[in-house]
Amino acid sequence: QQPVQSPQAVILREGEDAVINCSSSKALYSVHWYRQKHGEAPVFLMILLKGGEQKGHEKISASFNEKKQQSSLYLTASQLSYSGTYFCGTDSSGGYQKVTFGTGTKLQVIP
Amino acid sequence: DAGVIQSPRHEVTEMGQEVTLRCKPISGHDYLFWYRQTMMRGLELLIYFNNNVPIDDSGMPEDRFSAKMPNASFSTLKIQPSEPRDSAVYFCASSWTGGSYEQYFGPGTRLTVT
């Protein structure tokens, strides 16, 4: 079953922060985050494993609440380059390879 | 490395015709995935292979779809006969067991069935 992402779309001004949420009805072993720019392929951002630590690089980080079967992606001090559609992918089998993607959150950063 | 290679990049065909999409994964990767992306359904996993063996094809919509991986460097996704509702962008992705579970996506094939 497809995870639910919220919000569906968000517009930010440069420098503002955003949080994208991902929620699953199934128990999760891992959560994968990808970003897709218009007309391009999805690009991997990070993976969060069950029992693992909060991950992040630069100004994009994420958390994983296993008990609530939820993950959140945090974008701080947004840049124009952050624009795109963000997908969470959930793994309910434990193999870390088979991922079910959510419907995406479209993020637009404006000057 | 050249990344995941897909061909053709665009395909326009008439309903009822056979369509074959091709994918060359990154050398050394042992997992290969086929996805379909549409506005309505988002990014759907159709099938994935490990070491050229199909592991899970539960996402393949119906018998009109078939996928093969004859060797570690080539895979095909075939639709026969094609229908207008098959119009979508089809992505191939690859990953490897010793990595960070990152899937590397190809540029996609935009299929239009008229």
Q: Does A9 touch chain B (CB under 8 A)?
A: no
Between vectors from CA A83 to CA A82 and to CA A84, what angle results, nearest 5°? 115
Q: How far apart are CA A76 and CA A106, in angstroms?
A: 16
Token code pair at residue A56: 């992040």
A87-95 mean pLDDT: 90
Between vectors from CA A104 to CA A99 and to CA A109, what angle results, nearest 5°? 135
Q: Tell me, what's the pLDDT at B98?
A: 80
Q: Which residues of chain B neighbour A22 with C-beta distances below 8 Å?
A: none
Q: What are the beta bridge partners of residue B90?
A: B36, B109
Statement: residue A53 has pLDDT above 80: no
A50-64 mean pLDDT: 78
The separation between CA A50 and the C-alpha centre of its own chain, rounded to angstroms, equals: 16
CA distance A15 to chain B (A): 28
Statement: residue B42 has pLDDT above 80: yes
